[in-house]
Amino acid sequence: MKSSFRSKNNGIYFVFQPMFGRTGQLLAVECLSRFTFDSKYAHFSPEQFFQHADSIMRVEILLEQIELIEKYQNWFDKNQVIVTLNVDDATLHSLASNQLAERIRAVHCIHFEISESATRLVKDRVHGDPLLNGYSFWLDDFGSGYAGFSALYNSQFRFVKLDRFLLWSFMKKPGGEGLMRALLRFFYLNHYKVIIEGVETTDHKKWLDEMPYYALQGKLWKESNIKDLNSFLTAEYF
């Protein structure tokens, strides 16, 4: 589904994945990059693309995402929906700008996801940089085998996103339901808001129904372009 907002970067466009709370309320959306069929990157997955994209292109994409959110900030404010953007070692440096910080503060709804595999997070503690103190960072890909709990102890996160493979692994593993409950209870008791990624079927959602998560995200719900965000407000939650 194409957005009318087309990136300057060779057929890259942006879509949004919803995050729903326990009662089906839309709490947040994640802004993600996709490629048109005629893009020179069309044969890449987004993960492959960002593994090879240089820092200049990464920063350009981030700035275009911020520009897009600015244009639609009234919708996010009116519906009290958070929008998350992904950052990494390359793009974190661009956030350490007073001018950019003022723009993001003016929008209110923008939060940033940083993977637990990020070198900056693991070694330098992203919250230890005073130039980044004004931002809300979420820990992404928790359980993917990199920083793990050390990322929680080294930085100040309120939101944690569980890696989708962690969900799928626990669902297959004997005793996995108990492990997931224990993990989510730890987060709940320590005042973290946990988003579980990888919810692709009604069985995934049903397995999690009685567990203390904050929100669910995954391919069970369709992506949307920026002009069709209202579809999330009436989406069937199953």
pLDDT tens for the chain, 238 residues long, are 334 344 566 788 999 999 999 999 999 999 999 988 777 777 777 777 787 788 888 899 999 999 999 999 999 999 999 999 999 888 888 888 888 999 999 999 999 999 877 776 655 566 667 778 888 999 999 888 665 677 777 667 899 999 999 999 999 999 999 999 999 999 999 999 999 999 999 999 999 999 999 999 999 999 999 999 999 998 877 6
Cα–Cα nearest to 234, from 18, 4, 11, 57: 18
Cα–Cα nearest to 32, from 85, 107, 92, 109: 85
Residue 131, domain member (yes or no): yes
Residue 185, domain member (yes or no): yes
Residue 51, domain member (yes or no): yes
Q: How many domains does the chain have?
A: 1
Burial code (b: 16+ CB inside 10 Å, e: under 16) for 195-234 equals bbbbbeeeebbebbeebebbbbbbebbebbbbeebeebee
Residue 102, domain member (yes or no): yes
Residue 132, domain member (yes or no): yes
Residue 7, domain member (yes or no): no
Domain harbouring 207, CATH code: 3.20.20.450
Domain of residue 188: give its range: 12-233
Which residues, at least 6 apart from 181, have a Cβ–Cβ distance to it below 8 Å?
Answer: 211
Residue 238, domain member (yes or no): no
Pairing of strands 193-196, 215-216: parallel
